[in-house]
Amino acid sequence: MSAWTTSPLASVCAVFGDGDWIESKDQSPEGVRLIQTGNVGEGEFKDRVERARFVSKDTFARLRCTEIFAGDCLISRLPDPVGRACLIPETSERMITAVDCTIVRFDRNRMHPEFFAYYSQANKYLAAVDREATGTTRKRISRARLGQIPVPLAPVAEQRHIVALLNEAFEGITTARDNAARNLQNARDLFEGKLQSVFAALDASCPHRTFGSLASETHVGLTRSARQQGDNLRCRYVKMNNISADNRFDASRLTSVDANDAEVLRYRLQAGDFLFNTRNSHELVGKSCIFEGPDEDEVVFNNNIMRARFEAAIDAQFVLFAFSYKGTRDQLERMKSGTTNVSALYYRDLALLDVPTPDVTTQRRISNVLSTLRVECDRLGELQRDKLVLLERLKQSLLELAFNGGLKTKAIDSLLGALA
């Protein structure tokens, strides 16, 4: 590691300034492309053509906008994370950027742009930016503070050599990451495809019943305001955030409430209860799950949830799988009422929901097959998620080596062996 130093970021730039203040009224359907913080990924430019915004050439001139060019670096001063950066690629478009992006045009006698692009992905850099960021709910960093972030400087020839080594290494990481992401999606698609095909066949071949005729009892839950919820109260309290979007029970965020004996008797949950979210955003209302216990605890449920218990000839897990079937979801979609922010599904409508309902032996067989497949797909998915975590750690290990002067071809070969 020869003659490495550090300098404030702004000091190694020929241009270091913010983008333009462009309001909605200034935008046009075509013209000069407006690059926004959403286009700035961690070391990558996100084109997002479908969300492209523009200003007219007249507006560009009137507002005296600053044009950006291929090879310029954009740094987002907003999360997430604050300080992420990318290089502008070669395009056929004229471009400007928004005020929350800082335009960086490096002095190439001191800083190779790709060298910084890699450094901007390193934990050391991101931690330094985070320390200088302000705000509680949404952090941001001022341009002045961003300009003072220290960056490593090596001789430019050495910077180019490190970039070449990282290009080789990151190509392998990107391929492995894409494969892991594809395998993760394949695991999800395998279960989803099987569920849809099973219920499509049932839909066409077996008797149907209404949801209301399947349930032996239904109840909406116990009303408790936020002020009445807390820790270490008598009963754990299941709310709509304890039902995941993929119809599973999530016990990780249970709060608790007080309830008297009569309320506990009426609203207590037992393992196997079917829970249905009756009020939520339009997208999430109607999500469901099976409560997984344990029975020995006093667990009650919120008034935005309906509990259903079924007659003996109905398998609750089968009904839950039926609620993931496209035909059932389409019916539920038509039953929703309300606004985008708050929608409801009322029992008077839900009771009429049409459910393909074979005999209970077939229901249980299908439940067992789908449950076993879901467990296996979950296991495969978890392996891929673990691999994605390991790949991110490998990436950070390479970056740490690179900016500590320890990145050599042998080090790359050794670390990339983890991808096998």
Q: Rounded to whole angstroms, what are the CA distances from 222 to 249, 251, 286?
A: 18, 18, 18
Cβ neighbours of residue 32 closer than 8 Å, sequence gap 6 or more? 54, 55, 56, 57, 60, 65, 67, 93, 94, 95, 96
15 and 79 Cβ atoms separated by less than 8 Å? no
Is the CATH number 2.30.250.10 carried by domain 207-357?
Answer: no
Q: Is the pLDDT of residue 278 over 70?
A: yes
Residue 345: count other Cβ atoms within 10 Å of its Cβ: 22
SS3 395: helix
Mean predicted confidence (pLDDT) in 261-265: 96
Averaged pLDDT, 2-21: 93
Mean pLDDT of 149-159: 93
Q: What are the start-end ranges of the E strands in 197-315?
A: 208-210, 215-220, 229-230, 235-238, 255-257, 274-277, 279-280, 288-290, 299-301, 305-310
| pLDDT given at position 138 | 87
Q: What is the mean pLDDT of residues 109-133?
A: 96
3-class SS letters over 81-94: CCCCEEECCCCCCC
pLDDT of residue 341: 81
First to last CA, the chain: 30
Cβ atoms 227, 304 nearer than 8 A:
no
CATH topology (fold) of 155-206+358-420? Helix Hairpins (1.10.287)
pLDDT digits (tens, 9 = 90+) for 280-295: 999 999 999 999 876 6
Could you give phi then psi for residue 237, rounded to 5 degrees? Answer: -130, 115
Q: What percent of the chain has pLDDT over 90?
A: 84
- pLDDT tens across 223-243, in order? 999 999 999 899 999 999 999
Q: Considering all CA atoms of the chain, what is the largest pairwise distance in Å, rounded to the nearest integer?
A: 79
Cβ atoms of residues 96 and 32 within 8 Å: yes
CATH code linked to domain 5-154: 3.90.220.20
Query: Is pLDDT above 70 for 5?
Result: yes
Q: What is the pLDDT of residues 288-346, one digit of tens each?
A: 999 987 666 899 999 999 999 999 999 999 999 999 999 999 999 999 998 778 899 99
When the pLDDT of each residue in the chain is averaged and rounded to a whole number, the result is 93
Q: Do domains 5-154 and 207-357 have the same CATH topology?
A: yes
Question: Once rounded to an integer, what is the mean pLDDT over residues 376-400?
Answer: 91
Which residue in this structure is represented by tokens 């200034």? Answer: 26
Contact 257, 224 (CB under 8 A): yes
Task: For residues 90 and 72, give the distance between their C-alpha atoms in angstroms, rounded to a whole number.
Answer: 10
- What are the Cα distances from residue 41, in Å, to 66, 116, 198? 21, 14, 40
Strand extents, DSSP E, 107-207:
150-153
Domain ranges of the chain: 5-154, 155-206+358-420, 207-357
Reply yes or no on whether the pLDDT at 406 is more than 70.
Answer: no
- Residue 367 pLDDT more than 60? yes
Q: Residue 151 and residue 215: Cα distance in Å, rounded?
A: 65
Task: Give residue 14's pLDDT.
Answer: 96
Average pLDDT over residues 191-208: 97
